[in-house]
């Protein structure tokens, strides 16, 4: 058997795009013969237009449904278990998830844990925290309706949560978790406050750059069985196409979407960019910026972000990722400078005449300028962290093998500590 893998597998994503497509959900469920749907959302979204439209569609199509509206923004294993327990108490044969990545990821977990209850909660969770067992079989239909333009969760087989015991993020990853259909309705992003548009849009940006600069799929070990080939396989010729196009769209439209929620074209292009990047990273993977972001979010005890209606401290996922990005890409650029320059060019940088040795510097300067325009907090210190907490941040990053091992340049504990130190202040 070969030592390294020689193949990649493209998991396709079904999406429907168009202003107003949320109104069609009921028809789709009725055509599938669904007898009772579980509608999953969060407390704030329950009161807003997207859920109202979906409910009207279900009623018009005579599809009975039950609502679960206790999703936690930045979910935890505790909030996952609450949703799973609720779902186990009703009879349903399809799920509709309406909200951001937290809602859609919670719905994926509900789908898996109600269809195939494990002996232990961590059985499906990514190693080394969990056992990483594959999903045993097909799941129930899951319709995902994103209301932010960032996570791409409607296109991926990944479900992320904070593991409270370790104060770090982890997740579940398998192709069978992928939603049956994602409804990309630009009307649903009109309620996004500016900081939500900025954070989720910068998450798209990092998804695309990380997937494009991840190790090549042939650098990953050959799996014991084909079914064990991970969703995050490394960069490949198909994911590259989606990632680069997502970057071009973000570079052109993120400022407009941040500045003017009524800019229909910008919002439409950003929700498409999110899905494009989702297809890219859903098959190639992300690496160090995401791996380092998980303890930043998980260890937060005091930071509240304006624009997020939350009853608990919250560092938006996109911010926790983008803060690391300038330092990380300066670090990783030497491993594949051409790819780092190509991502800068896709964002609109004139890279003609730029030496390969300057690829990381050019890309990080572009990202920093974008972050300043979008009002991103100035480094980890602005989130309440101090240099004394760097060792804990490093320890929280080390278990994130699913993503850190995709870095084109391996990062030691000392490397990670230096990267966190460089992220303390940016401007």
10 in any annotated domain: no
126-161 tens-digit pLDDT: 888 899 999 999 999 999 999 999 899 999 999 999
pLDDT on residue 172: 95
CB 25 within 8 A of CB 144: no
Give the pLDDT band of residue 31 (cuts 50, 70, 90).
Answer: very high
Q: Kindly state whether residues 350 and 218 are assigned to the same domain.
A: yes
Q: Kindly state whether residues 178 and 198 are assigned to the same domain.
A: no
Residue 10 scores a pLDDT above 90: no
Q: Kindly state whether residues 175 and 223 are assigned to the same domain.
A: no
> How far, in Å, CA of 58 to CA of 40, rounded?
14
What is Dmax (Cα atoms) for the chain?
A: 63
Q: Kindly state whether residues 174 and 76 are assigned to the same domain.
A: yes
Indicate yes or no: pTM above 0.85.
Answer: yes
Distances (CA, A) of 272 to 191, 243, 248, 278, 386: 17, 12, 12, 10, 37
227-253: average pLDDT: 94
Q: Kindly state whether residues 144 and 50 are assigned to the same domain.
A: yes
Cis bond upstream, residue 128 (ω within 30): yes
> How far, in Å, CA of 140 to CA of 144, rounded?
13
CB 172 within 8 A of CB 108: yes
Instruction: Choose one of 184, 210, 235: the last residue of a domain.
Output: 184
106 in any annotated domain: yes
14 in any annotated domain: no
144 Cβ contact partners less than 8 Å away, ≥ 6 residues apart = 97, 104, 107, 153, 154, 179, 181, 182, 183
Q: Kindly state whether residues 256 and 391 are assigned to the same domain.
A: yes
Q: Which domain holds residue 381?
A: 194-422
For the chain, the helix, strand and coil percentages under 3-state DSSP, each to the nearest 5: 50, 10, 40
Instruction: Choose one of 184, 202, 225: the last residue of a domain.
Output: 184
Closest CA to 204 of 74, 342, 367, 22: 367
pLDDT on residue 43: 95
pLDDT on residue 12: 79
Cβ neighbours around 181 below 10 Å, total: 18
333 in any annotated domain: yes
pLDDT on residue 145: 98
Number of domains within the chain: 2
Q: Kindly state whether residues 180 and 212 are assigned to the same domain.
A: no
327-354: average pLDDT: 97
Residue 14 scores a pLDDT above 80: yes
Q: What is the CATH number of the domain that holds 274?
A: 1.20.1090.10
Q: What is the CATH number of the domain that holds 114?
A: 3.40.50.1970
Q: Kindly state whether residues 174 and 270 are assigned to the same domain.
A: no
Q: Kindly state whether residues 212 and 155 are assigned to the same domain.
A: no
For the chain, the average pLDDT equals 95
Instruction: Choose one of 159, 184, 209: the last residue of a domain.
Output: 184
Q: Kindly state whether residues 274 and 229 are assigned to the same domain.
A: yes
Q: Kindly state whether residues 41 and 180 are assigned to the same domain.
A: yes
95 in any annotated domain: yes
Top-ranked range on mean pLDDT: pick from 5-14, 125-134, 185-194, 268-277: 268-277
Residue 158 bridge partners (DSSP): 173
268-311 tens-digit pLDDT: 999 999 999 999 999 999 999 999 999 999 899 889 988 887 77
7 in any annotated domain: no
Q: Kindly state whether residues 97 and 115 are assigned to the same domain.
A: yes
The three-state secondary structure class of 95 is strand
Distances (CA, A) of 328 to 23, 224, 240, 391: 42, 31, 20, 17
2 in any annotated domain: no
> How far, in Å, CA of 96 to CA of 79, rounded?
18
340 in any annotated domain: yes
């Amino acid at each position: 058997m070969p030592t390294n893998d020689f193949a990649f597998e493209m998991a396709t994503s079904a999406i429907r795009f168009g202003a107003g497509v949320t109104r069609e959900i009921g028809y789709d469920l009725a055509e599938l013969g669904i007898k009772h749907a579980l509608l999953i959302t969060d407390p704030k979204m329950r009161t807003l237009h997207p859920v109202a439209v979906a409910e009207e569609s279900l009623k018009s199509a005579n599809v009975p449904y039950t609502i679960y509206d206790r999703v936690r923004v930045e979910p935890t294993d505790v909030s996952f278990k609450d949703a799973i327990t609720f779902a186990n108490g009703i009879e349903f044969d399809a799920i509709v998830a309406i909200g951001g990545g937290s809602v859609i990821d919670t719905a994926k977990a509900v789908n898996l844990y109600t269809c195939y209850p494990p002996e232990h909660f961590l059985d499906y969770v990514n190693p080394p925290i969990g056992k990483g067992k594959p999903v045993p079989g097909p799941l129930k239909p899951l319709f995902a309706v994103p209301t932010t333009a960032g996570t791409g969760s409607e296109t991926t087989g990944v479900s992320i949560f904070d593991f409270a015991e370790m104060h770090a993020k982890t997740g579940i990853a398998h192709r069978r978790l992928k939603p049956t259909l994602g409804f990309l309705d630009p009307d649903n992003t009109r309620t996004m406050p500016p900081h939500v548009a900025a954070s989720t849009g910068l998450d798209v940006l990092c998804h695309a750059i990380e997937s494009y600069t991840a190790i090549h799929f042939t650098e990953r070990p050959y799996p014991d069985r084909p079914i064990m080939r991970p969703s995050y396989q490394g960069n490949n010729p198909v994911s590259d196409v989606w990632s680069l196009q997502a970057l071009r769209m973000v570079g052109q439209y993120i400022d407009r979407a941040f500045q003017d929620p009524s800019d229909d074209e910008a919002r439409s292009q950003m929700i498409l960019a999110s899905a494009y990047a989702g297809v890219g990273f859903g098959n190639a993977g992300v690496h160090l910026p995401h791996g380092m972001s998980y303890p930043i979010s998980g260890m937060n005890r005091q930071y509240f972000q304006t624009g997020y209606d939350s009853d608990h401290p919250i560092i938006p996922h996109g911010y926790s990722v983008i803060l690391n990005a300038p330092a990380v890409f300066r670090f990783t650029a030497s491993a594949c400078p051409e790819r780092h320059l190509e991502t800068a060019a896709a964002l609109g940088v004139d890279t003609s005449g730029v030496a390969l040795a300057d690829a990381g510097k050019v890309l990080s300067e572009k990202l920093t300028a974008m972050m300043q325009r979008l009002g991103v907090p100035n480094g980890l210190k602005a989130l309440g962290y101090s240099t004394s907490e760097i060792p804990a941040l490093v320890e929280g990053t080390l278990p994130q093998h699913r993503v850190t091992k995709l870095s084109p340049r391996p990062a030691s504990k000392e490397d990670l500590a230096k990267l966190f130190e460089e992220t303390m202040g940016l401007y």
